[in-house]
Structure 1
Amino acid sequence: MAQEHPYPLPASWEKTAAEHAKRYKQWLQRANVKKVMKELPDLHEEAFSKINCLACARCCRNYSPRFKTPDIKRISKRLRMKESAFIDTYLRLDEDGDYVVKSSPCPFIGDDNACSIYEDRPSDCARYPYTDEDVLVKRPALTLKNTTVCPAVFYVMETLTTQ
């Protein structure tokens, strides 16, 4: 059974995020990166004090991170598999030439939304959802997509765009 979010998200936050996409996009286009970067650490902490990833796991259930060479080496070692066997078992090359998981949800997520390789997860997973990085402003298309995937990104963007 998934855990509850301590922050009462609007029932249709994904729909609200989609409806606010134009506002977010306009804000991202004119955002002062230095100013935003000063605000992000506190906003990131605030978002994750209110939002429980284990209650959601939409990222793990719907998308795949890129598995870079260091990730593949580290995870295959943890799983006691040869790198080639790990790749053959779990990964495929996407249209950009990046290794991603073969299917959704991620094969490493459990029924409780916990990750079985959490300590060795890909760097993309460790960094996601980029709410404490300049990626939030510098990759607006990704941020806009993530507002409908991750409640923390929705929370950060709602806060930033309504100040």
Structure 2
Amino acid sequence: MSGEVFLDNWHKQSAANQKKYKNWLQRVQRNKVLKKLPTLHEEAFRHIDCSSCAQCCKNYSPRFKTPDIKRISKHLKMKESLFIDTYLTLDVEGDYVVKQTPCPFLVENNACSIYEIRPSDCARFPYTDEDVLLKRVNITLKNSEFCPAVFYVLEKLTNEKL
């Protein structure tokens, strides 16, 4: 892949490049890019340590789908209804999300107390190795503003001649 990505001041770079990212995401040749995503995803995480950041856990919530709620409440030895009442609320789209940020399962050293059974949204985040990156432009742009891995992948892709 061409071009080095500098992670210093990535927040400012991402903010300055939102229009570039949006234009690129709207006209990209999806099949070509999809083949590159797994490699770029792995490359990004060779440079980025999620536990040094955890902005996703501190500022946003994953969706908790029914299988997630069943699995996590069972692990916590709670009835599903109590788990929901204790930790979750419905958002404007009708999805269960955490009541407050940071995530109640985020513990010291930016670790997740339910990592092995975390919601599928958490396991998949930041979607840099799947088609969500290309299909859901608004989410990708939002994620690029708080996740250095999304910034990294978008920088690599938008600076490359495809």
Where on the TM-score scale, by shorter chain, does this alignment land: which range?
A: over 0.9
**Which of 91, 102, 106 matches 1:109?**
106
1:157 aligns with 2:154: yes
Using CA pairs under 8 Å that are at least 6 residues apart, name the structure with larger relative contact order, 1 or 2.
2
Deviations 1:35-70 (A, max 9, x none): 001110100000011100000000000000000000
**Which of 100, 122, 129 matches 2:119?**
122
Tell me the equivalent position of 1:37: 34
Deviations 1:90-122 (A, max 9, x none): 000111111000000000001210100001000
Q: 1:8 Cα shift?
A: 6.3
Q: TM-score, normalised by structure 2?
A: 0.94
| Matched residue SS, 2:106 | coil
Tell me the equivalent position of 1:87: 84
Q: Which stretches of structure 1, 4 residues or longer, exceed 6 Å deviation after superposition?
A: none
Q: 1:33 Cα shift?
A: 0.6
Tell me the equivalent position of 2:7: 9
Q: 1:18 Cα shift?
A: 1.0
Size of the alignment, in residue pairs? Answer: 156
Distance 2:139 2:88 in 1: 22
Tell me the equivalent position of 2:25: 28
Residue type at the aligned position of 1:114: A
1:142 aligns with 2:123: no
Residue type at the aligned position of 2:72: I
Residue type at the aligned position of 1:9: L
Q: Which runs of 5+ in 1 are unaligned?
A: 1-6
Tell me the equivalent position of 2:130: 133
Residue type at the aligned position of 1:105: P
Residue type at the aligned position of 1:148: E
Tell me the equivalent position of 2:50: 53
Percent identity over the alignment is 67
Distance 1:96 1:42 in 2: 33
